[in-house]
Structure 1
Amino acid sequence: MSRGRVTISDLIMEYFFKHPKEDLPHGPVVDYVEEKYKELYKKKPRDTWRQIRKLYQQGLLIKVKKGVYRYDPDLAQYRELHEFPSDVKEQIFKRDNYRCVVCGRGREDGVEIHADHKVPIQNGGTNTVDNGQTLCSEHNYLKKTYSQTEFGKRFIIRLYEEAKVKGDKRMEKFCKEILDVYDKYKINHHIKRPDK
Structure 2
Amino acid sequence: MEHKTIGELIMAYFKSHPKQDLNHAPVVDWVEEQYMSMYGKKPRDIWRNIRSLYQQGQLIQVRKGVYRYDPNYVHDVDLYDFPADVKEEIFKRDHYRCVVCGLGRENGVEICADHKRAKDKGGTNTAENGQTLCTQHNLLKKRYSMTEAGKRFFIKMYEDAVRIDDENMIKFCSSIFNLYDQYGLDSQIQRPD
Please give the range of the TM-score, normalised by the shorter of the 2 chains: 0.7 to 0.9
Unaligned residue ranges in structure 2 (runs of 5+):
none
Judged with a 3 Å threshold, the aligned counterparts in structure 2 of structure 1 residues 113 and 15 are, in CA distance, closer, same or farther, namely: farther
2: CA distance, partners of 1:149 / 1:125 = 17
Q: Which residue of 1 aligns with 2:95?
A: 97
Per the alignment, residue 184 of structure 1 pairs with 182
Q: 1:134 to 1:6 in 2, by over 3 A?
A: farther
- Equivalent position SS for 2:131: strand
The C-alpha deviation readout for 1:6-38, integer Å capped at 9, x for no partner, is 654333222211222233333554455556567
Q: What corresponds to 2:73 in structure 1? A: 75
- Could you say what secondary structure the match of 1:154 adopts? helix
Question: What are the ranges of 5 or more consecutive residues in structure 1 without an aligned counterpart?
Answer: none
Q: Which amino acid aligns with 2:56?
A: Q
**Aligned CA distance change for structure 1 residues 105 and 9 (closer, same or farther; 3 Å):** farther
Counterpart of 1:143, as a letter, is K
Q: State whether structure 2 residue 147 is matched by structure 1 residue 146.
A: no
Q: TM-score, normalised by structure 2?
A: 0.79
* Farther off after superposition, 182-191 or 27-36: 27-36
2:112 counterpart SS class: strand
Percent of aligned pairs sharing the same letter: 62
Match of 1:57 among 55, 58, 66: 55
| Root-mean-square deviation over aligned CA pairs | 2.8
Q: Which moved more, 1:94-103 or 1:184-193?
A: 184-193
Matching of residue 21 in structure 1 with residue 16 in structure 2: no
TM-score (ref. length: structure 1): 0.78
Name whichever of 22-31 and 123-132 sits farther off. Answer: 22-31
